[in-house]
């Protein structure tokens, strides 16, 4: 069955209810319908009779052109439509009065990748807070979770380490859609904005992206293929280290390596752990930008053999601990800043805790931490159950 997103259904019939509203459309390059035409073209078609007053973009830009974290986007006028385009990853992460004065309703169509450590959901959260404060409406055009809606992984975010990569205490891999996240934020954070979700049609929680009957469009530059979304909840932790997470290659979040790593040794050690659903293939690679630029790095490619059995969060932490154990004098934590936080360590913001860093610094086993994260999953599943739409 072909999956129909909230955008597909909005354009088909739901749009008629919003013809009297001044619409601010929050989306990016992945805001496309099933035949890959972009929302910004479709919602301006004369027969829809919609009043789109501005486009709004999240991190990486409204066109998805900004490669790295902390690369901001400017506001600009779209040359094709003469409509203003506002950035929510520039001078501010929150909608300004200038943005809010241009609209009566936010229509949000962003493709999430299923991980707490991804900023699109927090851009949505900030829009919801602004909407409540200024009497605006929020309509979320829902999209499926590309890594499925059944599996949940990872520790709870400790709010002492809240940041733009973590503004709500939930598990690392949340197993929710953007619409479900919006419902949860609205209630659990007491936002209570005027919120409507246009639901997906033809999606089940067990389905991964290749079962949608749709082409993959990268939601951000370093998630070029769906496989990268599956490994992201674990491998994203390497952003907080001096070890490359594969940026600057064709396989970001699938390659992990550093100049000081012996690929064969690391691959052998990791495969001895016999983690379910994954194989660590020894590789050497040379990034063209980012960490290890123009250097030959030794490391592994993470091959997901069974997506249901594979636990990305646990695999990523095992890999992190193994590299730190093998190369204690060469492995280092990245120093601030990270996502607008200038004091706390990036790994603590990414992990939502300082426990990961402390365990690895003292060469302590991570077994107990992983067991506790499974208890966190059980707790979070009870919270999220109230907001599941599918």
Give dist(CA 111, CA 140) in Å, integer: 11
Q: Report pLDDT for 172.
A: 98
pLDDT in tens, 158-167: 999 999 999 9
Band (pLDDT 50/70/90 cuts) for residue 2 is confident
Q: Report pLDDT for 63.
A: 83
At residue 304, φ and ψ (nearest 5 deg) are -85, 115
- Across the chain, mean pLDDT equals 96
Beta strand extents in the chain (DSSP E only): 22-27, 51-57, 76-77, 84-87, 105-109, 137-141, 194-198, 255-258, 278-285, 297-304
* 373-377: long-range contacts, CB 8 A cutoff, minimum separation 24: 373/153, 373/154, 373/155, 373/171, 373/172, 373/313, 373/314, 376/154, 376/155, 376/156, 376/171, 377/152, 377/153, 377/154, 377/171
> For the domain with range 226-378, which CATH number is right: 3.90.1150.140, 3.40.50.460, 3.20.20.70, 3.40.50.2020?
3.90.1150.140
Band (pLDDT 50/70/90 cuts) for residue 316 is very high
Helix, strand, coil shares of the chain, percent, nearest 5, are 35, 15, 50
Q: Report pLDDT for 72.
A: 86
Percent of the chain predicted with pLDDT > 70: 99
Using alpha carbons, list the distances in angstroms from residue 122 to 68, 88, 149, 195, 230.
18, 10, 19, 15, 20
Percent of the chain predicted with pLDDT > 90: 94
Band (pLDDT 50/70/90 cuts) for residue 70 is low
Interval 233-241 mean pLDDT: 98
Architecture of domain 6-215: 3-Layer(aba) Sandwich (3.40)
Q: Report pLDDT for 343.
A: 95
Using alpha carbons, list the distances in angstroms from residue 365 to 212, 317, 331, 357.
40, 11, 17, 12
Least confident of 65-74, 109-118, 225-234, 381-390: 65-74
Other C-beta atoms lying within 10 Å of the C-beta of residue 326 = 15
pLDDT in tens, 368-384: 999 999 999 999 999 99
Give dist(CA 45, CA 49) in Å, integer: 7
Q: For residue 61, is pLDDT > 90?
A: no
Q: For residue 359, is pLDDT > 70?
A: yes
Range(s) within the chain of domains with CATH label 3.90.1150.140: 226-378
Q: For residue 123, is pLDDT > 80?
A: yes
Q: For residue 64, is pLDDT > 80?
A: no
Give dist(CA 372, CA 323) in Å, integer: 22
Q: Report pLDDT for 73.
A: 87
pTM score: 0.96
Interval 57-81 mean pLDDT: 85
Range(s) within the chain of domains with CATH label 3.40.50.12170: 6-215
């Amino acid at each position: 069955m072909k999956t129909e997103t909230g955008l597909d259904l909005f354009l088909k019939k739901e749009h008629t209810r919003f013809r009297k509203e001044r619409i601010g459309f929050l989306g990016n390059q992945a805001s496309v319908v099933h035949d890959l035409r972009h929302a910004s073209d479709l919602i301006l078609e004369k027969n829809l009779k919609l009043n789109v007053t501005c486009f709004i973009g999240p991190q990486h830009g409204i066109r998805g052109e900004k490669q790295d974290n902390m690369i901001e986007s400017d506001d600009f006028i779209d040359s094709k439509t003469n409509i203003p385009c506002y950035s929510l990853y520039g001078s501010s992460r929150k909608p300004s009065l200038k943005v809010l004065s241009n609209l009566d309703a936010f229509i949000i169509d962003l493709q999430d990748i299923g991980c707490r450590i991804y900023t699109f959901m927090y851009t949505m959260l900030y829009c919801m807070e602004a909407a409540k404060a200024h009497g605006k409406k929020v309509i979320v055009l829902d999209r499926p979770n590309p890594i499925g809606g059944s599996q949940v992984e990872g520790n709870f975010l400790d709010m002492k380490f809240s940041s733009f990569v973590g503004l709500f205490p939930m598990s690392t891999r949340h197993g929710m859609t953007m619409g479900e996240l919006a419902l949860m934020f609205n209630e659990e954070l007491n936002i209570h904005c005027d919120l409507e979700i246009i639901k997906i049609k033809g999606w089940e929680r067990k389905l991964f992206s290749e079962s949608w009957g749709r082409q993959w469009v990268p939601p951000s530059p370093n998630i070029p293929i769906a496989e990268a979304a599956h490994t992201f909840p674990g491998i994203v932790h390497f952003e907080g280290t001096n070890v490359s997470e594969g940026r600057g290659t064709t396989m970001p979040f699938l390659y992990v390596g550093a100049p000081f790593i012996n690929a064969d040794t690391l691959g052998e050690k990791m495969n001895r752990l016999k983690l379910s659903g994954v194989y660590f293939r020894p590789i050497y690679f040379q990034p063209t930008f980012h960490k290890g630029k123009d250097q030959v790095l030794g490391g592994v490619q993470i091959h997901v053999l069974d997506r249901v059995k594979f636990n990305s969060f646990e695999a990523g932490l095992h890999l992190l601990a193994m590299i730190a154990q093998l190369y204690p004098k060469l492995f280092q934590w990245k120093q601030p800043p990270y996502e607008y936080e200038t004091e706390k360590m990036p790994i603590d913001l990414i992990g939502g805790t300082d426990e990961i860093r402390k365990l690895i610094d003292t060469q302590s086993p991570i077994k107990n931490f992983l067991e506790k994260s499974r208890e966190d999953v059980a707790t979070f599943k009870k919270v999220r159950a109230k907001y599941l739409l599918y």
